[in-house]
Structure 1
Amino acid sequence: LQASAFQNFDGTADATNIGVSGVLPIANGGTSTSDGVINTIAYSNSADGTDGFTTVYPNLNLLKNTRALTATSNTTWWNTLFSSSQIYDSTIKTKTGVSAMNFSFVAYVPLNAEVGHEIPIQLKGQSSQAYGNIGTDDYNTIISQANYITKQSDLGKTIRISAPIQIGSKYKTFDTALADTDSVTVRQVSGISGLVYSKLKLEIGSTATPHMPSASEVTVADYPKYVGFSNIIKPNKKSSDYKWLPMGLVSIDSTTGSLKPAVIGIDCAQAHPVGSVVSNNSSSSSGYSTGKWENIGSAVIGSTTIYYWLRTA
């Protein structure tokens, strides 16, 4: 048994099972090899997997200036929280092949917030005809409104909320809507004051992934630092269910914002640049391309010990 590639050159996770072939039984009967049950991959900023734990590799942000930008709601209905001049990135117009999008953000809920009320925030993308009048729905291209209802347990807490993006009524696809999006504004829907918003993220896909900057702003430090592997047959896995190892980060593609290359698999004939991570089932790194290799750990997967090697020179 051998470990497969952990991550592709574009920064997306490789869904190939790790170390185990075939279908294995799960605790409540039946069989499964699906994510969340067996052979799963996770990512984190810390060696114990607790900081920024996610089982979905984070997408880049389609909004700019979101790393430290914050806004606090006031008593004015439809008050602009984040103006288009602050967060709009024109590269949104070039996105194609988009079948779903998601809007997420962090909100601090004050202790005096009213339980049972919606978090009143809306993202609105519009065409150039809507400049100066963001309230005009005739020019909507994309829109999202969080329908999250405040709970008692949210008071005094900072929570993360996500909501799907809808296409404006005049558009049939996300591609055509995005191509016509000349502004993106975020505003409060009602006059509930004291909510503090930050870490805005607009991304492609139906699942909200951890906050990241835009492609033009991202650095190596923004990406997860560790990759975790789990061969435990268990749903709803936690960070403690994973074996954590450093992720080799090399560089960022200046055009796409993706890592290149990151974790590389077991193909010994492949040239491995400095910073790449490879794996094999031998305690020796012999067989890999020339260079200086450092063993960074191992994991027992099934009945096989897989060794992880980082090229340092």
Structure 2
Amino acid sequence: MADKNYLHTAYANSADGTDGFTTVYPNLNLLKNTKSQSYTSTGTDRNVLANIYKLDGSTSDVIGKNVTITYDFAITNSIGTWSGTINPTLGFGGSGKPVSNTSLSGSVKQTISITSLSGDSYSIAVIGLPAGTKVTIRNLKVELGSTATPYMPSASEVTTADWPKYVGTYVDTNPASSTDPNKYDWDEMKYRVYLDGTPVGGSKLLSFDLENLKAGTTYNVQVNQINGNDESDKSESVAFKTTLTK
């Protein structure tokens, strides 16, 4: 039997695929105001900078679902020996990240299940950090599912310039996609594809494979055209229903 050919697709911000390379199209952020936030501790007791992140939507959109939290942190003005925790999503969920005078920077990824939310605004909390110690949280992203995708703003903040600008493709008999940008042939993205109103990918041609669809489910697809940082209105919605598995 002949080997099956697989089309592999990746996205990036540069024509060589090295800037922002990803094989998974970015999800939108569930929180607003997350690109960079800082807080300076006033002492080793718990400090909370209240209500700096707001959910971009309704709490009902995430109740009962898994979400992934990712962020980068850097601690400056550290003096002496100390240890503590930081949590940039207090009130939303996620466990504190242990930090100390010997662990001043890093990246965090957590996947949690949201069972309830008491509000739609969330905070940075720090415990155990001496007064004057500054914590900076960058690229905080909360997204549906257990896969972390590149940083994006929320639905009300995102612009065309935030999305990947180039799409790369290649075909081989390996079902796994390469993480080497040099493996792909890159071209400017001409079209963005929306599934039920959510961007799920892009193409340099007016063709696109929709993946991971559920059987017996109705979906709506739209497309818009991209020209640099400009984009057209979305096309009229086309509905289709997947067949039931036998």
Q: Same fold (TM over 0.5)?
A: yes
Where does residue 57 of structure 2 map in the other structure? Answer: 91
CA contact (8 A) 2:165 2:189 kept: yes
Alignment-mate amino acid for residue 126 of structure 2: Q
Give the match's secondary structure for 2:122: strand
**1:57 Cα offset (Å):** 1.2
Q: Which residue of 2 aligns with 1:174?
A: none
* Structure 1 equivalent of residue 23 of structure 2: 55
Instruction: State the Cα distance separating 1:113 from its structure 2 match.
Output: 8.7
Contact 1:62 1:214 in 2 (8 A): yes
- 2:86 is equivalent to residue 144 of structure 1: no
- Superposition map of 1:26-65 within 5 A: 39-65=7-33
Counterparts in 2 of 1:98 and 1:59: CA distance versus 1, 3 Å: farther
- In the alignment, what sits opposite 2:156? 216
1:164 maps to 111
Please state if 1:244 is matched with 2:186: yes
Q: Please list, as runs of the form range in 1=range in 2, the aligned pairs for 1:109-124 lying within 5 A after superposition.
A: 109-110=75-76, 120-124=86-90
| Equivalence for 2:119 | 181
Q: 1:210 to 1:151 in 2, by over 3 A?
A: farther
1:100 is aligned to 2:63:
no
**What SS is found at the alignment partner of 1:221?**
helix
C-alpha displacement at 1:143, in angstroms?
1.2
Shift of 1:63: 0.9
> 1:52 and 1:119, CA in 2 relative to 1: closer, same or farther beyond 3 A?
farther
The one of 128, 140, 161 equivalent to 1:190 is 128
1:71 aligns with 38
* Secondary structure of the structure 2 residue equivalent to 1:184: strand
Between the aligned partners of 1:43 and 1:146, the Cα distance in structure 2 is 32
Q: Which runs of 5+ in 1 are unaligned?
A: 1-19, 24-37, 126-141, 172-176, 277-313
Q: Is contact 2:84-2:128 (8 Å) kept?
A: no
Distance (whole Å) between structure 2 residues aligned to residue 52 and residue 251 of structure 1: 19
State the SS of the aligned residue for 2:94. strand
**Alignment correspondent of 1:226:** 166
Tell me by how many angstroms 1:213 deviates: 0.9
Per-residue CA deviation, residues 271-301 of structure 1 (Å, 9 max, x unaligned), is 986549xxxxxxxxxxxxxxxxxxxxxxxxx
Q: How does 1:274-285 map to 2 (within 5 A)?
A: 274-275=225-226
Deviations 1:56-113 (A, max 9, x none): 211111111223x3204434432224x32x3113514241586310111122255969
Instruction: Tell me, yes or no, if structure 1 residue 207 matches structure 2 residue 147.
Output: yes
Partner deviation per Cα, 1:236-293 (whole Å, 9 max, x = no partner): 622222222211256999x95x4499433179xxx986549xxxxxxxxxxxxxxxxx
SS of equivalent to 1:91: coil
Computed over aligned residues only, the root mean square deviation of the Cα atoms, in angstroms, reads 4.1
SS at match of 1:195: strand
Unmatched tracts of structure 2, length 5 or more: 210-221, 228-246
Q: 1:219: Cα distance to partner? A: 0.7
Structure 2 distance, partners of 1:248, 1:115, is 54
Q: CA deviation at 1:144?
A: 0.4
Higher strand share: 2
- Where 1:61 maps in the other structure, the secondary structure is coil
Structure 2 length-normalised TM: 0.64
SS at match of 1:240: helix
| Equivalent residues, number | 207
Greater helix percent: which structure?
A: 1
Larger Rg: 1
- Aligned residues with identical type, % of pairs: 30
Look up the SS of the partner of 1:163 in the other structure. Answer: strand
Per-residue CA deviations over 1:4-32 (Å, capped at 9, x if unaligned) read: xxxxxxxxxxxxxxxx9627xxxxxxxxx
SS in structure 2 of the partner of residue 120 of structure 1:
strand
Tell me if structure 2 keeps the 8 A contact 1:106–1:160. yes
Pair 1:272–1:185, CA change in 2 (3 A): closer
CA distance in 1, matches of 2:17, 2:79: 33
Mapped to 2, the partners of 1:231 and 1:240 lie a distance apart of 13
